[in-house]
Amino acid sequence: MCLVFLILSHVAHVRLTVEFPPTGGAIPHWTLRTVKLIRYVSAMDYFVMACEFILVLFIFYYGIEEAIEVSCIVWKISRTL
């Protein structure tokens, strides 16, 4: 499980993991990393930001498109039963 917390101009990435050894029990592990949000300084950095934004838009668009397609297929299958 990964949690992301917003702390003013930084993002804290918290990773909480639990290991279950074969002998029983649970061994928890955690890591905390902070990352600065302001990483776009030059014109090339803003170009990279635009490319990342376009990539995220494509991922959301095709994810929603696939979810709609799967729901249509499930609806057709459940209607024939």
Burial of residue 10 (CB within 10 Å: 0-12, 13-18, 19+) is middle
Q: What is the DSSP letter of 37?
A: S
- Residue 29: phi and psi, rounded to 5, are -135, 150
Q: Which of 32, 10, 9, 30 is nearest to 19 (CA)?
A: 30
Q: Global pTM?
A: 0.48
| Residues of the chain falling short of pLDDT 50 | 1-8
What pLDDT score was predicted for residue 40?
73
Phi-psi region of 29 (alpha: psi -120 to 50; beta: other; left: phi over 0): beta
| CA 79/CA 17 separation, integer angstroms | 42
